[in-house]
Each structure stands twice: as structure tokens, then as C-alpha cells.
Chains A and B, each alone.
Chain A
Amino acid sequence: MTFTGNVDVRDGFGAAIMELGEKNPNVVSMTADLAETMRFQPFAEKYPDRFIQMGISECDMMGTAAGLAMAGKIPFPGTFAVFAASLANQAVRLSIAYNRANVKIAASHGGVTVGGDGATHQAFEDIALMRMLPGMTVICPADANEAYKATMAAAAMDGPVYLRLARGNHPVVTRADAPYQIGTADVLRDGTGVALIATGPMLARALQAADILAAAGLTARVVNMHTIKPLDEKAVIDAARACGAVVTFEEHSVLGGLGGAVAEVLARELPTPMEMVGIQDTFGESGEPDEILVKYGLTADAVVAGAQKVVRRKK
């Protein structure tokens, strides 16, 4: 499956779930009244027995998914990130994580991408909430190509996964034929001036930032940290050692997400000056997604500013 141009990240997920439906009779999709937005509709039509409409009951859906998994199925419960991670947290913690149930939580609308719906529906804390759960794998694909690969990889591994998908069109910046492994970061661009570690659709903006920095004479290593947990600690340490300064970039709170995870590693292994570009401990608001990204400082320019600031603190 190959995507190019500007594509909704969920389309990569949708393509994968259809392929899984064909290839693996144990795959079950489930949703809490969001079949269309989760890209489950074609699956539901082709495999009606293996699609479960749960109604607006996210906690119940997560618990039911755990039961399916413990009887050998591979359920993909799908809903918005804010409901999957916050509303249903009790069921994800008890029934999925503590049971080590083989559930693949598909969470769309991670970050600001719900736009006009406002802060109630914008998940800025979901990565942190899921990262805290022992045994939970947390993945945040950068684009549709990676969403496809991540979904296939999640189905192939044993254990609970939180798959965070963005809504809306985002430039495809990863190659369909590039190898993908959960827990292994990709270095998309090499450099020694500063390390830009990005996750999710912010990766495309990190690449723009690297271009701007290169024009100003600062070469940036760009790391695609598609898996937040287990974090590729070696990739973090290598980048910090090579560049001496790190900027993290995520469509999420800087508390407890990618920035927090990278800081935990570097504080322990290789203290390195850092800047964290992300949501600065605040709720969001209504607006077009791009307007929100600008207002809350999630842009290539913000990464450039962070890079210029952090390199001044290099040892």
C-alpha cells in the first residue's frame, strides 16, 4: 500500500484493517458509534460478523475488547483519542493493560486535529496516559504510509497497543518501501548541529524546520520517533551524542509525552540541553487545525526557534 501527496492518516489505517480482515480471521473491529470516521465501514460491510457496534459506550467497548482478546481474537476498538485514553482509562488500565490483553486500541483525532470541536475533543494528554500503563505499546504514525505499516505491525505483535491516529490531510513524508519496526526510530536526515526528534504528523514540519536551519548553516538530524513506548533509547542517545542539543516535537502536551520520555532517557544516560515543542500545559480551543497549530506554537518556525535557543546551551 503506497500513499503520496496529502492524505488522511486514517486512510492508512483503513487500508490495513481491510487487509487484516482478509488475511486474519481473528481480527475484529469495534467502534463506539464512529464506524465511518474510524474507516471501519468497508470492514463492517465485508465482515459483518467481525464488526461489533458498541454504541456510545467507550469503557464497555474497551472491556469487551479485552474479553475478545483473552479468547484469542485480535480486537481493534476504535474511537477518538480523548475517549479512548481519558474517558475509558479505567477499562484500558484494568481490563486491557493489567490483563496484558492483546487489544489494539485505534485512537483517531489525536492532538488538535478535531479543530472546531474545541478543547473537549482535543487529546493532548493521551500519549502520557497510555505511556504510564505497564506493557502498553504506544505508536504515533507520521502519515498514511506509516499508519498502514504500524497497523499491520500492531496486529502481528502480541500485547496491548495504543495506535494514535491524526485526522485530516497530512503530507506523506515516509516511504512505503522503507522498513518499519515498532520500537525502532528512523533517522530521516543526518546532521550534527541539532537533533530534531518528532512524532506523528509533526514529523513533516520537523523536516521543514531542518531545511530552514540548513539554509542558516545549522545541520539537523531528524529522527522519526514513531514509537513512544517502547522508546528507542539508543536512537535518542545517539542523536544527543552526535548533535549535543535536542528539540522534541509533538502534537501533545510537553508533559509526559515524547518530550518527557526523551528527557527521562537523557537525564539518566547523557544530560543534554533540550527544548520541547508541543502543547505547553494548556487546554486547546476551537479553530481550524492549522490556526490552532500556529497559535499554540506547533510549527516549523517554532522548532527553528527552539533549535536556535538550545544550541546556545551546548557544552
Chain B
Amino acid sequence: MPSATTVSADDIRDLAHQIRRDVVRSIACAGAGHPGGALGGAEIFAMLYSGVMNHDPGNPKNPQRDRFVLSNGHICAGFYAALARSGYFPPDELATLRKINGHLQGHPARAHMPDTVETSSGPLGQGLSVCNGLAFAARLDNSPARMYCFVGDGEMQEGQLWEALMTAGHHKLTNVTLFISYNALQIDGEVDKVKKVEPLADKLRAFHWNVVDVDGHDVDALLAAVDTAKQTTDRPTAIIARTVMGKGVPYMEDKAAWHGGKLSWDQANEALEALGPARNYTDFAIEGGTK
């Protein structure tokens, strides 16, 4: 199984690069989707699936596996790309995102991907509760498995998430690590103007969480933050990862409009040109080619 010691930060960065290409191309195939947050989370997805999590595509139901819960399910294009590039399914299937009779639903669905999606998600604020349940079970089983949950900063406006934060803090679920992709934007604009979540770190600490604040695109910093989480033995850890919505695609960067919507092949090709090719990966095939 891959681990942080065997996979170099450079390789993780290269995977993140390909995840970005896959996000753009799969959403272009679908005609619409949620590219902004998926591009912003690319390093986190890449790091978890290639350098951090104890998982095995050849034995996906291993009870001792680490678990990933994508709470803000709308950014699933990045999650699906990480799964495909890790060997859970052929990357060519990324062309079927959001298509009828496909596995790759518009939001992750366990019913359609029982081996790879730990929990269905989409309605915001609900993933951490499930993650906590997985963590309680691991504790009961004396399993070393660790749980990683991904949420957006706008998602912090959901009430159930704070219930779950309180639960993990109170019950000292040290096997839970929460990534908060903090791009300061949500559908209706700046999080700070829509409804403030700040002072976020203080709030999390008040809920009995360890808090680390890092650049969400700095792989070395992210790896160090995960190590801190593993070494913290009296409380769960939240990693506030400063990300840029639409990262890597100049016309999308820092634009709330790219939370979600239509994506034409003209726009996609402009994005792919800006991104450039990845070093160790090739793009998935698209039946009939691109436009």
C-alpha cells in the first residue's frame, strides 16, 4: 500500500495535476458540474489517495482500511478522478460523469459505487457525522483505521456539522481528521458576506479540536499537517486548508460563479491549455474524441 514515505511530494503534485485535467474534461463531457471546488481540492485528494491513506483498490472492503468521506459531494469530479487514478476503476469511465446508467452520479452515491463510496453525500453538513460513526466503530474494533472527512468552508454554515464537531470533540475521536477547503467563496459570493464562519479556528478549538492552518495547495505542508493529526492523541484534528476556487485555471480562479454550472468544450480546452500536461499520466479516452 502506498504511504507518505514511499510516494514523493512531486508525484503527489503530478497526480493533483492530472486530477485537475480529469475534472475539467469529465465535467466538459457531462456539459455541466462543479469544477471550482474540485480544482481547489486536487492536492488534498491526490495526497490522501496516493500518499496518506491506508487503502487497497484490490481489496476495497478491507475492514482495516482508512476511510474518506467527501461531505461536500458536489465536488465529486475531483474525488472520482482520484479513485480512477488510484486503480478503483478505469479512468475512461470518467467520461460518464452525470450520465444516465453510469456509476458516477452527480453527487457520490454508495448505491451506485458500493466498493468505493463510503457514504452518499451532497446535502451539505452531513458527512462528518457518518465519519464519526466509522470512527466509533474502529474504536470498538481496536482498529488502527483513520477517517478523513472533507468539507467546504461555506458548508460550515450547516447546523448538523457543528453537532458532529461537538461529538468528535467530546468523544475524543482522535482517528478523525477533517479537511476544511477554505476558498472563502460559496454560490452566492463571499462566505464572509453570505454568513460569516469566522473566527473559524477559534470556534473549532472551542469545540475541543486541534487546528492546523495550511496552504491547501502546498503538498509538503499538507503532509506535515496530517502527521500532526496522527500524533495528536487527545482530540481530533481539523486542517484548515487555504485553497483557491478554480485553482490552475486562470479564468476560474477566485470566481464564485465556478462553484458550478455549464462548461463548454471551448472553455475546457482553454483550461487544459493553461494547465498543461501531467508528467506521469495520460488523459482518459473520450468516445468520438473531444470537440
Contacts and interface: CB of A to CB of B under 8 A. Distances in A.
A73 B141 CA distance: 10
A91 B63 contact: no
B118 A70 contact: yes
B127 to A, nearest CB: 8
Interface string B205-230: 00000000000000000000000000
Given A72-B63, A99-B111, A99-B120, A64 B133 contact: yes
Given A57-B167, A60-B163, A64-B167, A71 B138 contact: yes
A50 interface: yes
A70 B133 contact: yes
Contacts of A60: 129, 132, 160, 163-164, 166-167
Given A59-B160, A60-B167, A95-B129, A67 B119 contact: yes
B160 A55 contact: no
B103 interface: no
A311 interface: no
B257 interface: no
A98 B171 CA distance: 27
B200 interface: no
A63 B137 contact: no
Interface string B119-150: 11111001011111111111011000000000
Interface residues of B, number: 32
A contact patch SS? helix
Chain B interface, >50% SS class = helix
A64 B127 CA distance: 9
A52 B140 CA distance: 11
Interface string B143-177: 00000000000000001100110110011000000
Contacts of B63: 71-72
Interface in A86-127: 90-91, 94-95, 98-100
B85 to A, nearest CB: 24
A60 B137 CA distance: 15
Interface string A51-82: 01011010111111111111111010000000
Nearest to B118: A70
A67 B120 CA distance: 11
A161 interface: no
Given A71-B134, A94-B120, A98-B111, A59 B129 contact: yes
Contact of A99 (B119, B131, B136): B119
A98 B133 contact: no
Contact of A52 (B110, B131, B136): B136
Interface in A14-63: 28, 49-50, 52, 54-55, 57, 59-63
B133 A69 contact: yes
Interface in A213-238: none
Interface in A150-177: none
Nearest to B134: A67
B109 interface: yes
B120 A95 contact: yes
A66 B130 contact: yes
A55 B141 CA distance: 23
A59 B121 contact: no
Contact of B126 (A49, A69, A70, A95): A95
A68 B133 contact: yes
B14 to A, nearest CB: 32
A95 B130 contact: yes
Contacts of A63: 126, 128-130, 132-133, 160, 164
Specify which of B63, B132, B133, B135 lies most central, judged by the most chain A CB atoms within 10 Å of its CB.
Answer: B133
Interface string B80-107: 0000000000000000000000000000
Nearest to B136: A68
B160 A67 contact: no
B126 A91 contact: yes
A100 B129 contact: no
Contacts of A49: 140
A28 B159 CA distance: 25
A95 B121 CA distance: 8
Looking at A65, A73, A95, A100, the one whose CB has the most chain B CB atoms below 10 A away is A95
Contacts of A98: 109-111, 120
Which of A52, A67, A69 counts the most B-chain CB atoms under 10 A from its CB? A67
B132 A55 contact: no
A67 B126 contact: no
A73 B167 contact: no
18 contacts: A49-B140, A54-B167, A57-B166, A60-B132, A60-B163, A60-B167, A63-B128, A63-B129, A64-B132, A64-B136, A67-B130, A70-B133, A71-B133, A71-B138, A98-B120, A99-B110, A99-B120, A100-B111
Given A59-B159, A73-B140, 16 more contacts: A49-B140, A57-B164, A57-B167, A60-B129, A60-B163, A63-B128, A63-B130, A64-B136, A66-B129, A66-B130, A67-B132, A67-B135, A73-B136, A73-B137, A90-B160, A95-B130
Interface of A: 28, 49-50, 52, 54-55, 57, 59-73, 75, 90-91, 94-95, 98-100
